């Protein structure tokens, strides 16, 4: 059975929930310029070119801002992050609901530009510091531990426009930000995550047919290296600031299966695990690049800026806790296949042993157990699942109730496999269900792609009262936590 002190909870991110994008001293982030999309049409970034003409560019990794262009807010365009679900103003109401469910831990992120609006200031924004301090105090009022991500797919747009993580100098700005957070929130936060899904820097290039060129890979691996170094700095600073801090890294956890028993498929599957999962995991957990790194770099003529000090820092800044997201599995094959998966962040051959969600994601609870057992065996560190959930369209009935049995089934199936992994010896210490309250979807910008136990009255056009309504899954999760999973 799960440990008696197992950390049950939920997770959201600042950029998908807070809103309040331009008040109390907050600076802009790239997501503030991102439009809404759908499962058929991608989200876009709005800009003005060097002549002042409005336009849009892709949000895909590797897309470069045209020369002379700037990110811009355009008239008559809906930006989902500007309001989110207004967690900024309604956090007390929402935390009270989390407490009613019995949360032991709540994963959230700090918006970097709410602390340092451009990223280069010497002194932090006082309103931003106080806001998060108040959120953490509200959580502690209900004996809920905050689990805080320092960088969750965002940074001040001032740094973005100047190259962001392509510049080594960004490390020092991150260091100042991280040190400020550790210092200001000492005694209020002990569980930290450095970067959300850090492996996506390279992994997303593989997602859509491997069309990226060598230059794009060079930039991606270089950005990733600087982030890994920054992560190691944060671990060291966090431990120096407070020896009680427990600091994790986070991986986008997608297990891969070979499409056939062809030895070429078996080898491709192994190499995909190495590139997508182990490359970052080994650096975060073991403090050094794995032996297969040279093969990965040589595939795309990558020549990284790595100093001896970087290598020392990586060795000295290994994480205490392995955290990861899990939504689906993928199939890889060297053979041409006609039946392929298409959807938001889903690609590759279809697995005919699995069913798929409306957004093209494989429904694979056993994949979660498989991933847990592989990671536990490789790293021998405590593990926490920090994202897992079902995105689905929820319908209110005539009594303003949501009967989301499909979500209960999804979570029950996945948590049952977690239990099997624990019984098999996996050191799993916590689980935070993703989007525990409905938030704006990162992939599509929709509200209709809902994950939460709590319904938020808002549609894909940004209309609604923001009223919070408990779903059937709210009461199920409450019972699950009360019994420490025994209801399964």
Could you list the active site residues?
197, 387
Phi/psi of residue 246, each to 5°?
A: -115, 115
Choose among 398, 410, 397, 396: nearest CA to 451.
410
d(CA 194, CA 247): 7
On the CB side of 52, CA atoms within 13 Å amount to 0
Helix ranges restricted to H, 448-487: 472-482
Cα Rg of the chain (Å, integer) = 21
Tokens representing 487 are 């209801």
Tokens representing 374 are 């592989």
Pairing of strands 321-325, 246-252: parallel
Q: Which residue has tokens 């679900």?
A: 85
Q: Cβ(229)–Cβ(316) under 8 Å?
A: no
Can you list the pairs that 90-95 forms with residues at least 24 positions away whose Cβ atoms lie under 8 Å? 90/466, 90/468, 91/134, 91/135, 91/138, 92/138, 93/468, 94/437, 94/454, 94/468, 95/135, 95/138, 95/139, 95/142, 95/144
DSSP string across 111-157: -HHHHSSSS--SS--HHHHHHHHHHHHHHHHTTPEEEEEEESS--BH
Choose among 117, 120, 119, 114: nearest CA to 134.
114
Pairing of strands 383-387, 70-71: unpaired
- Contacts for 297 with CB less than 8 Å, ≥ 6 apart: 221, 303, 304
d(CA 86, CA 412): 29
Consecutive H or E run containing 383: strand 383-387
Task: Return the ∠ at Cα 79 (arms to 391 and 389), rounded to 5°.
Answer: 15
Q: Cβ(475)–Cβ(406) under 8 Å?
A: no
């Amino acid at each position: 059975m799960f440990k008696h002190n197992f950390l049950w909870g939920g997770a959201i991110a600042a950029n998908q929930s807070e809103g309040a994008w331009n008040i109390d001293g907050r600076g802009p982030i790239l997501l503030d310029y991102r439009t809404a999309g759908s499962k058929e049409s991608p989200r876009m970034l709005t800009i003005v070119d060097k002549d002042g003409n409005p336009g849009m560019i892709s949000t895909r990794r590797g897309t470069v801002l045209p020369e002379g262009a700037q990110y811009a807010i355009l008239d008559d365009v809906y930006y989902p992050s500007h309001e989110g679900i207004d967690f900024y103003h309604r956090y007390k109401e929402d935390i009270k609901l989390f407490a009613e469910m019995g949360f032991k831990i709540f994963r959230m992120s700090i918006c970097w530009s709410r602390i340092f609006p451009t990223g280069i200031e010497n002194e932090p924004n006082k309103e931003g510091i106080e806001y998060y301090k108040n959120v953490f105090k509200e959580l502690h009022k209900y004996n809920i531990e905050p689990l805080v991500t320092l960088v969750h797919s965002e940074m001040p747009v001032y740094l973005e426009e100047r190259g962001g993580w392509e510049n080594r100098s960004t490390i020092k700005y991150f260091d100042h930000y991280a040190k400020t957070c550790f210092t200001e929130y000492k005694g209020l936060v002990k569980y930290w995550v450095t970067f959300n899904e850090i492996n996506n820097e390279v992994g997303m290039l593989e997602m859509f047919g491997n069309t990226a060129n060598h230059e794009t890979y060079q930039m991606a691996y270089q950005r990733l290296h600087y982030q890994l170094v920054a992560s190691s700095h944060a671990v060291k600073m966090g431990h120096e600031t407070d020896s009680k801090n427990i600091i994790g890294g986070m991986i986008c956890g997608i297990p891969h299966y070979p499409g056939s028993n062809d030895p070429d498929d078996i080898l491709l599957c192994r190499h995909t695990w190495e590139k997508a999962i182990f490359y970052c995991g080994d650096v975060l957990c073991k403090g050094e690049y794995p032996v297969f790194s040279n093969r990965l770099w040589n595939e795309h003529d990558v020549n990284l800026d790595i100093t001896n000090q970087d290598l020392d820092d990586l060795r000295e800044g290994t994480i205490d806790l392995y955290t990861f997201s899990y939504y689906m599995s993928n199939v890889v094959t060297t053979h041409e296949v006609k039946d392929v998966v298409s959807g938001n962040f889903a690609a590759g051959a279809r697995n005919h042993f699995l069913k798929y969600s409306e957004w093209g994601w494989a429904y694979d609870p056993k994949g979660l157990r498989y991933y847990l057992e592989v990671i536990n065996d490789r790293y021998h560190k405590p593990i926490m699942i920090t994202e897992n959930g079902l995105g689905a369209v929820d319908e209110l009935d005539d009594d303003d109730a949501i009967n989301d049995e499909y979500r209960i089934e999804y979570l029950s199936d996945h948590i049952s496999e977690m239990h099997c992994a624990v019984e098999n010896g996996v050191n799993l210490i916590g689980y935070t269900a993703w989007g525990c309250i409905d938030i704006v979807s990162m992939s599509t910008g929709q509200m209709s792609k809902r994950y939460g136990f709590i319904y938020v009255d808002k549609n894909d056009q940004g209309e609604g009262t923001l009223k919070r309504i408990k779903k059937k899954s709210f009461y199920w999760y409450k019972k699950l936590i009360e019994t420490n999973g025994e209801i399964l």
